[in-house]
Copies of this chain bind each other. A is one copy, B any other.
Amino acid sequence: MFRPEIKVCDCTIRDGGLMNSSNFSLETVRNVYKAACASGIDYVELGYRNSKDMFDPKEFGPWRFCDEDMLKQVITGVDNHKGTKIAVMQDAHKAVAEDVLSREDSVIDMIRIATYVKDVDKAIHLANSAQAKGYETTINIMSVSNVNERELDEALQQIENETKVQAVYIVDSFGAMYSEDIDYMVKKFRSILKTKELGIHCHNQQQLGYANTIEAIIRDVNYVDSTLYGFGRAAGNCPTELIVGFLKNPKYNIRPLLEVIGTDIMPIRETMHWGYSIPYMIAGMLNLHPQDAMNMMKLEQDGHEDKFKYAQFYDKMVEEDF
C-alpha cells in the first residue's frame, strides 16, 4: 500500500552544498542526478539560484548559482524516462527574481523559496515571479521550532492568500522537534493553508530526522525532503535511502541510490563530518542554531584537547539559552 501523492525531493547537492560552499564536481552532480532519475525520485534539487551579488562566485562553487549551462551539462544524455524533475532553491533574502529565466529557456521545473518568517514578503515576491514565468513553486519556512507563532500564522495566511505555490514546507532547521511538535505544526499549517500541499524537511540533531519525516507522512504531508546518507550541515538530514526504503511505491528503486552513495557520497564523507554527535544533540535539545556545536566539532576535527568536554559545552549552551 502506498500513497501516490507523496513526492520525494532529494536535496543532496543543494543542502549538502552548505557543507562545501556548493563546490561539487560536475561528475558528482551528474552521478547524483543519474541516480535520482534511475531510482524514480520525484524531484532532485541541484543547488541554489542565488545572487552573485550576495555570494562571490570566487568563493562559492557553481551549484550556489546553477547557471543554465551548468545544469545542461548535468542532464545531457541522462536517461530520465521516469520523469524526475529538477528543482533549485532561492533564499528569500539572498536571491533576486531577475535571475530566473522564462520557463521555456530553462531546464528547471521547480523553484523552491527558502525563507524565515520575517522575510515572507520577499519569499512571496520570488515565488509569484517564478510562478508567473511558468515554474512549479514552493515556499519553505525555515526554523519553525523557533518562531513567534502569531507571526507564523500571519505569514501562512499571506502565503495562502497571495500565492499559487503548490506546497509549503515545515523546515525543522534546528533538528529540535519531537513527533508531537510535528503533529502540532502540520495541524497549524493545514488549518491555514487550505489550497496548498504541505512539505517536510527535517534535520537529525536528535536522531529524529527520518522518524519525524515518517510522522509527517502519516499526518498526510506529501512533499518530503531528504539527502543521500543524510548529507548536510551539522547532524545532517533525513536520508533519502531510508525514505525510499520506507515508501512502498513500486516506481522507486533504492539500488541506484545505494550505488551513488558508495561512489560519490562516501568519498566526500571521508573528508568531512556530518551526522549525530553530542554537540549537535545538545543544540537540538536546546532548540538552538547548530553553529556553536559546529565550532565545537571543529575542535574534534583538529584534535584539540577540549574536543570531548561535552559537559562544559552543555553548560555554555544552557547559559546562552536563557
Contact = CB atoms under 8 A, between A and B. Distances in A.
Given A262-B278, A275-B276, A308-B263, A179 B229 contact: no
Interface stretch (A153-161, A164-172, A209-217): A209-217
A242 B209 contact: no
A239 interface: yes
Interface stretch (A85-93, A123-131, A252-260): A252-260
A262 B179 contact: no
Contacts of A282: 258
How big is chain A's contact interface, by range?
35 or more
Interface in A272-322: 275-276, 278, 281-282, 285, 308-311, 313-315
Contact of A242 (B214, B241, B281): B281
Given A214-B179, A275-B275, A285-B245, A262 B207 contact: no
Contacts of A214: 178-179
Interface of A: 178-179, 204, 206-212, 214-215, 229-230, 239, 241-242, 245-246, 254-256, 258-259, 261-263, 266-267, 275-276, 278, 281-282, 285, 308-311, 313-315
Contacts of A311: 255-256, 258-259, 262
Given A254-B314, A314-B255, A241 B281 contact: yes
A239 B285 CA distance: 13
Contacts of A245: 206, 281, 285
